Amino acid sequence: MLLMDGSGPYQVTAPKTQFIRFCVTKVTRWLPMSAEIQNNAIESRPSLLPTGDTSKKCLVLDLDETLLHTSLRPIDNPDYIIPIDTDLYYVFKRPGAEEFLIEMAKYYEIVVYTTSLSKYADPLLDKLDPQGVISRRLYREHCVQYEGGYVKDLSLLDRDISQTIIVDDWSMSYKFHPRNAIGCSCFFYDPNDRELDSIARFLAKHHDVEDVRDHLFAWDAKY
């Protein structure tokens, strides 16, 4: 997750906000979508994705603080340093991120959906996904602006919503489809983080369920 102004990404570095935000995610996760949100959803935008492999469910993944963390400040031992425009980004992969992508691609169509700009996200994803298992990339311009933030509207993907899961550390991102979400913890620098291992086991177990919305509550109950 990134906080944005109109020009680029700014990192969230206050660790105390992580627990508060994750708790809010837990509380709001199962609240029904209000009529106001439904009425504000975009009604006539073309599909963001071409026709996909209907034999697989669609797994939508956030980028920042879900799969990796970046910093503009020099930090020791980054996984890699990427120049973007005039800046250098120090990048830390979430432990197991590459393995997670490869394993989940066996069961799911992988889509990365970020609130970042493509000029920032693409170099990161090129490094993170050298095998090219990510099917599609969606960026800030593909999000819906709502209440001062960006929402990732899963209804615009042209995928069966009962077969679509989003993994994101920021509950605003899945405001329109909370029952389709796995709210993960934020990743910053922790080399002992094992969140993706837990999510991978959960997703592998539930990859063939009839309707994902009937099962994702188990993630909240366990984690």
Strands (E) in 77-215, as ranges, are 80-84, 87-93, 108-113, 136-138, 144-146, 149-151, 164-168, 181-183
Find out whether 185 and 22 touch, Cβ atoms under 8 Å. Answer: yes
Q: Which of 53, 62, 87, 190 is catalytic?
A: 62
Find out whether 23 and 29 touch, Cβ atoms under 8 Å. Answer: no
Length of the chain: 223
> Cα–Cα distances in Å, from 134 out to 104, 144, 202?
10, 22, 19
Q: Which of 5, 53, 64, 169 is catalytic?
A: 64
Find out whether 94 and 196 touch, Cβ atoms under 8 Å. Answer: yes
- Please say if 62 is a catalytic residue: yes
- The string of DSSP codes covering 138-151 is E-GGGSEEETTEEE
Q: Residue 146 has which token pair?
A: 């709502």
Kindly give the pairing relationship between strand 144-146 and strand 164-168.
unpaired
- Please say if 169 is a catalytic residue: no
Active site residues: 62, 64
